[in-house]
């Protein structure tokens, strides 16, 4: 019985390949001969010309996030835009949560905004706005 195929990704070439999974074998990109990254069996590659999606994917794969099927469906939530990645990375820095865990979090709790203006630090809203 043949094993199911899983996706391997070459980030520099922006290419994805479905191949049988073998933990001991290193996969090589046929275009650039760089090592391929295992992305998971539920991975759907973005279009090659969509550079923002490939940058987002690069952040996810370098953080250790993979696209494996769960018992009830797909891989779960994964951010699709760089803005969503930035939001989750900011949350991880402020909360101390690991990056990989915050990247797959469906909703990010909001923090109060940090004031960059020194005049507003330590003052109530009525003092800062002349009220």
pLDDT tens, residue by residue, 55-77: 999 998 998 888 887 666 566 77
8-35, pLDDT tens digit by residue? Answer: 999 999 999 999 888 888 999 999 999 9
131: pLDDT confidence band, cut at 50, 70 and 90? very low
pLDDT per residue as tens digits for the range 73-112:
566 778 788 888 888 888 888 888 888 888 887 776 776 5
| pLDDT on residue 8 | 94
Report the predicted TM-score, pTM, of the whole model to 2 decimal places. Answer: 0.70
Please enumerate in sequence order all residues whose Cβ is within 8 A of that of 76, keeping only pairs 6 or more positions apart, or say none: 70, 104, 106
pLDDT at 75: 65
Per the model's pLDDT, the better-predicted residue between 126 and 39 turns out to be: 39
Q: What is the pLDDT of residue 129?
A: 47
Say which residue the tokens 């195929």 belong to.
5
- Are 102 and 92 spatial neighbours (Cβ–Cβ below 8 Å)? yes
- Give the pLDDT score at 113: 57
Q: For residue 11, which of 78, 57, 43 has the smallest C-alpha distance?
A: 57
């Amino acid at each position: 019985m043949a094993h199911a195929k899983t996706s391997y990704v070459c980030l520099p070439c922006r290419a994805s390949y479905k191949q049988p999974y073998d933990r001991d074998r290193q996969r090589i990109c046929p275009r650039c001969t760089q090592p391929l990254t295992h992305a998971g069996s539920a991975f759907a590659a973005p279009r090659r010309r969509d550079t923002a999606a490939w940058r987002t994917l690069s952040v996810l794969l370098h953080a250790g996030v993979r696209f494996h099927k769960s018992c009830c469906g797909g891989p779960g939530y994964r951010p699709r835009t760089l803005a969503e990645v930035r939001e989750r990375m900011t949350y991880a820095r402020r909360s101390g949560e690991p990056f990989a865990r915050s990247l797959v979090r469906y909703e990010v709790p909001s923090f109060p905004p940090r004031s960059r203006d020194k005049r507003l630090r330590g003052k109530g809203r009525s003092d800062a706005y002349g009220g």
